[in-house]
């Protein structure tokens, strides 16, 4: 069951415990699971919540450090990845990646250009398109902030055995698929 803190149930734990949030099993079928198993599943859900919260805090800290909003940061990560793969990034590709309109992409690129984060140049093979690239200064700052965070995440995954990584992959893929299963 949910843990006790200062004589009261830990609300965060209760949010993930179907014995509390879905006592009558209207949504969560717990048949075949004993309390120890449900406790372990609740701990998995709490760990996911902890990761989600840490990811949000890290993203916000990187955005504050670089003085950019979350969408701007996503655009820069896209541009850095394109550069690292030798690909030419276009406004259309950025728009598609971010899932925003071309007008919003233009405003985003204007903002990033004014901030000295990107350069617009003629596309080398399509005279109707622009090539968008991240400046070296921004790439270096992103590497030192966001890049270091990603390196620590990689280390955490590398510390797992190959079999453990496969279990994590299957689990995360199954969680991702739950979004698609909505009625």
CB-neighbour burial class of residue 10 (10 A; exposed 0-12, middle 13-18, buried 19+) = middle
pLDDT tens for 68-97 read 888 998 999 999 999 999 999 999 999 999
pLDDT digits (tens, 9 = 90+) for 10-63: 676 677 788 888 788 888 888 888 989 988 888 898 888 888 888 888 777 777
- Architecture of the structural domain at 69-175: Orthogonal Bundle (1.10)
**pTM: predicted TM-score of the whole model, two decimal places:** 0.67
Phi, psi of 89 (to 5 degrees): -90, 135
In angstroms, rounded to a whole number, what is the distance separating the alpha carbons of residues 117 and 79? Answer: 10
Domain boundaries, given as residue ranges, for the chain: 1-23+34-66, 69-175
Q: What is the 3-state secondary structure (H, E, C) of 107-123?
A: HHHHHHHHCCCEEEEEC
- Which of 8-22, 108-122, 136-150 is modeled with the greatest confidence? 108-122
Q: CA-CA distance, 134 to 76, in Å (whole number)?
A: 7
Residue positions counted in the chain: 183
């Amino acid at each position: 069951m949910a843990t006790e803190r200062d004589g009261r149930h830990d609300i965060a734990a209760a949010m993930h415990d179907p014995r509390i949030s879905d006592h009558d099993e209207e949504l969560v079928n717990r048949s075949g699971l004993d309390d120890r198993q449900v406790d372990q599943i609740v701990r998995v859900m709490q760990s996911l919540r902890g990761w989600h919260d840490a990811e949000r805090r890290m993203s916000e800290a990187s955005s504050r450090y670089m003085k950019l909003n979350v969408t701007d940061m996503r655009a820069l990560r896209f541009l850095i990845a394109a550069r690292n793969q030798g690909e030419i990034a276009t406004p259309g590709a950025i728009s598609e990646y971010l899932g925003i309109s071309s007008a919003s992409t233009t405003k985003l690129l204007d903002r990033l250009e004014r901030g000295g984060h990107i350069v617009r140049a003629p596309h080398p093979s399509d005279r109707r398109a622009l090539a968008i690239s991240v400046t070296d200064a921004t790439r270096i700052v992103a590497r030192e902030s966001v890049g270091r965070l990603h390196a620590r995440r990689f280390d955490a995954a590398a510390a797992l055995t190959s079999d453990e990584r496969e279990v994590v992959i299957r689990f995360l893929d199954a969680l991702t698929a739950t979004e698609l299963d909505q009625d």
